[in-house]
Amino acid sequence: MSDGFADYVAQRHARLCRTAYLLTRDWGTAEDLVQTALAKAWGAWRRIEGDPDPYVYRIIANTHASWWRRRWRGEVPTEVIPDVVESRDFTHEVNQRDALWTAIGGLSRRQRAVVVLHYFEEMTLPQVAEVLGCSLSTVKTQAARALARLRVNGGVREIRETVKG
Amino acid sequence: MSYTEQDLRKVLAERSTGGDGGPARLDAIARKGRALRRRRRWAAGLTVVAVAATGASLLSPLLRDTATVEVAAPVTAQPPREEGKRLAGARYETAGELRRVTLTPLSAKTSFRVSCIAGLRVFIRQENAVQSDLCGSLTNGGPQLHMMGSLTTRPGVPITVDVVALPAKAVDGDPQDGAAEMERLLKAVRPTPSLWEVAVHDGGISTRSCSPDICDSGTLPAGGGEDNLAGLPPSNGTVPKSSSMVGKAVKVVDADGMASRTVIRCPGTDLHAYLWEKDRLVMSAPCGATPAIWDDPRPASHTLRAMVVPKALVRDGDAPEPADLQQRVKPETGPRWTVAVQPVPAGPVAPPPVGD
């Protein structure tokens, strides 16, 4: 095993999975994404100088983006047709954070990556730009659009209106 | 009620604690890493058949101080399984301009590859469908990215594809936005010097024939036997020596007694490249998007020395010796640059054709 790779995985795996989950919103996919990213990093480990985090995060973001483009994202086949009738009144049950979480899911993959890296990984915007391989202005634009979109998202607006009413 | 950034942080923190991601499985990661490596090698169509061990022992005294160009193992020209005949290919030295590629497909499966020397965002438009991806190395020393994809084709029915490459850092928007975004960016971004190429093949596509002045790794004939688009000799026998030091010489050795082509790739426009054979200056060229190339037709072994310096230190008509220049320049860390000596087979070397 490459020098320091095992230590890095031991220390960072759980955190990387959390980040990947926020990008993919599915634990199985997140684990697969992290394993793929680490496998790619493993192949280049000796060439990585300094902190490997930016390199690994970049692989995660790029791999996630490529999966988004290439993988089939249709419905999941099931033998049992799910019951779509819901008797509960969600108007009062959906809490604000659920609505915000739903709204985050509506962001584009790039906007979501910016939000996750900045607000979850606490990276500065220049660090986010470095990880995503784009300019600082692009990151700022994406962050501004993401925040604007979260504010006007249907689910969020509904909560606001409910609270106001 | 409005959401704050703190709310956002809380939601992200809470939601991501729903699972621990499972234990790290190092064996599975390594296994997957090896599989990825195998797949990449297969994609490049390379099969290592033998290792020239004697070369290394002959070179070792020369390479002791500043280990330099390594002569890689010979490789077979086994074509990739799916890459068919090249249908179109062009090279460009400008980013930010629309390029048009016309071809006549041979089958319903047609694939393309765009390779770039530095970070570009490429858009491929076929009728109303737009594909977009990053291309080239985005950072110094970062991986070489190719944009690869397929086109919708019918045998014998000509198609025209619009290709736009823009500096990745200039792309301000979600590239998934499609044709409108591509048009907007094309108008907003000024053309800049760069180096990139488009290859369209029947069937599948591989990266093996990427031109050696664009790709770090070696090149081989494409699936249909075509040479790289630059017309440069294949570089599969050469591993470039890279450096991140400006003002510090790197020694390279052309070891196999063949004619050679030395390629210095230094992307910074504020830099200048020098190449000496012993103390004789053989090349002085500005750095930038296109590589600096020196052809040596003599079938002999030479010790060469390459150095990249700030352009501000270059004087008109100056032909400094390495020792003199070394005294004038304080070595410092700078952008990554590479120097490679490619053995040239017998016969003339074709000049690199450019599509612009």
Q: Are B166 and B253 in the same domain?
A: no
CA-based nearest distance B278→chain A, Å: 30
| ipTM, two decimals | 0.79
Is residue A58 in a domain?
no
Task: Judge whether A69 lies within some domain.
Answer: no
| Residues of chain B numbered 147-176 and touching chain A (CB < 8 Å) | 168-174, 176
Establish if A14 belongs to a structural domain. yes
- pLDDT score for B351: 45
Q: Say what the pLDDT of residue A84 is.
A: 36
Q: Are A48 and A99 part of one and the same domain?
A: no
Q: What is the pTM of this model?
A: 0.48
pLDDT score, position B106: 94
Q: Do A39 and B30 touch (CB under 8 A)?
A: yes
Angle between helices B5-15 and A96-105 in degrees, nearest 10: 80
Q: Would you call B148 helix, strand, or coil by DSSP?
A: strand
Main-chain phi, psi angles of A26, to 5 degrees: -150, 125
Q: Is residue A42 part of a domain?
A: yes
- Is it the case that residue A14 has pLDDT exceeding 60? yes
H or E segment and range at residue B52: none
Residue B219, classed as helix, strand or coil, is coil
Q: Is B351 helix (H, G, I), strand (E, B) or coil?
A: coil
B245 shares its domain with B323: yes
CB contact under 8 A, B9 and A120: yes
| Residue B154 lies inside a defined structural domain of this protein | yes
Size of interface A-B (CB pairs under 8 A): 125
Give the gap in angstroms from C-alpha A120 to the nearest C-alpha of chain B.
Answer: 6
The strands making up B250-254's β-sheet, listed across from edge to edge, are B250-254, B302-310, B271-277, B280-286
The domain tally of chain B equals 2
Q: Tell me which chain B residue has its CA closest to the CA of residue A68.
A: B176
Give the per-residue pLDDT at B145: 77
State the nearest Cα–Cα gap between A90 and chain B, in angstroms. Answer: 19
Domain boundary, last residue among B187, B203, B219: B203
**Residue B44 forms part of a structural domain:** no
Residue range A84-105: mean pLDDT, rounded: 61
B143 in the same domain as B252: no
Q: CB distance B32–A159 less than 8 Å? A: no
Is residue B10 one of the residues assigned to a domain?
A: no
Same domain, A98 and A145: yes
The list of chain B residues with pLDDT below 50 reads: 46-79, 348-356
Q: Which domain holds residue B170?
A: 83-203
Give CA–CA dist B197/B144, Å, rounded: 14
- Asked if residue B2 belongs to a domain, the reply is no
Answer whether B8 sits within 8 Å of A115, measured CB to CB: yes
Domain that holds residue A115: 92-164
φ and ψ at residue A155, rounded to 5 degrees: -65, -40
Q: Are residues A160 and A108 in the same domain?
A: yes
B172 shares a domain with B114: yes
pLDDT at residue number B224: 83
Does residue A81 belong to any structural domain of this protein? no
The answer to whether residue B305 sits within a structural domain is yes
* Interface probe, candidates A26, A42, A60, chain B, greatest B C-beta count within 10 A: A42
Q: How far apart are CA A33 and CA A24, in angstroms?
A: 9
B24 touches chain A (CB under 8 A): yes
B197 and B252 fall within a common domain: no
The answer on B299 and B198 residing in a single domain is no
Q: What is the pLDDT of residue B149?
A: 85
**Alpha-carbon distances, residue B244 vs A65, A88, B141, B249, B268 (angstroms):** 30, 63, 9, 11, 12
A32 within domain boundaries: yes
The fraction of chain B above a pLDDT of 90, given in percent, is 18
Q: Would you say B261 and B69 are in contact if contact means Cβ atoms under 8 Å apart?
A: no
Residue A154 has pLDDT above 50, yes or no: no
The answer to whether residue A59 sits within a structural domain is: no
What is the rounded end-to-end Cα distance, in angstroms, of chain B?
Answer: 57
Output the DSSP codes for B220-249. ---TTSPPPTT-PPP-TTEE-EEEEEET--
User: Which one of A43, A100, A134 has the shortest CB-CB distance to B169?
Assistant: A134
> Smallest Cβ distance to B172: which of A10, A30, A137?
A137
Q: Is residue B27 part of a domain?
A: no
Residue A129 pLDDT more than 80? yes
State pLDDT tens for residues A36-79. 899 888 888 877 777 788 889 999 988 888 775 544 443 334 33
Q: Is B4 on the interface with A (CB under 8 A)?
A: no
Residues B183 and B295 in one domain: no
Yes or no: say if A22 and A117 are a contact pair by the CB < 8 Å rule: no
Residue B179 maps to which CATH number?
2.60.120
Q: State the Cα–Cα distance between residues A88 and A97, nearest whole angstrom.
A: 19
Please give the pLDDT value at position B353. 43
Distance CA B285, CA B274 (A): 7
> For the residues A127-154, what does the mean pLDDT come to?
81
Greater confidence (A131 vs A49) lies with A131
Looking at beta carbons, which residues of chain A come within 8 Å of B3? 96, 100, 150-151, 156
Indicate the residue among B203, B227, B248 that finishes a domain: B203
Residue B57 lies in a domain: no
How far is it, in rounded angstroms, from Cα B211 to Cα B293? 14
The total domain count for chain A is 2
Residue A64 located in a structural domain: no
What is the rounded average pLDDT of the residues A1-29?
Answer: 83
Do A108 and A45 share a domain, yes or no?
A: no
Q: Residue A155: its pLDDT value, please?
A: 40
Measured distance CA(B315)–CA(B13) in Å, rounded = 58
CATH number at residue A119: 1.10.10.10
